[in-house]
């Protein structure tokens, strides 16, 4: 089973990715995930059986 762990890349980000009071993602956090998830899917397309790049 593959799993995406966003924590390492979140820790490398310069600015805050969370709302100050409840630790949900802010707009920057959502942007970060929106960029990281497709990159993960492309990188692992074969293992996931996705027809990306075929």
| DSSP class per residue in 5-37 | --HHHHHH-SS--B-TTT--B-HHHHHHHHHHH
- How much is the average pLDDT of 12-40? 93
The reported pLDDT for the residue numbered 23 is 87
Whether residue 52 has pLDDT greater than 70: yes
Question: pTM of the predicted model, to two decimals?
Answer: 0.78
Whether residue 44 has pLDDT greater than 70: yes
Whether residue 54 has pLDDT greater than 80: no
Confidence label for 27 from pLDDT (cuts 50, 70 and 90): very high
């Amino acid at each position: 089973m593959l799993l995406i762990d966003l924590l390492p890349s979140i820790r490398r980000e310069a600015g805050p990715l969370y709302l100050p009071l409840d630790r949900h993602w802010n707009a920057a956090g959502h942007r970060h995930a929106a960029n990281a998830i497709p990159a993960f899917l492309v990188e692992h397309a074969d293992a996931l059986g996705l027809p990306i790049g075929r």
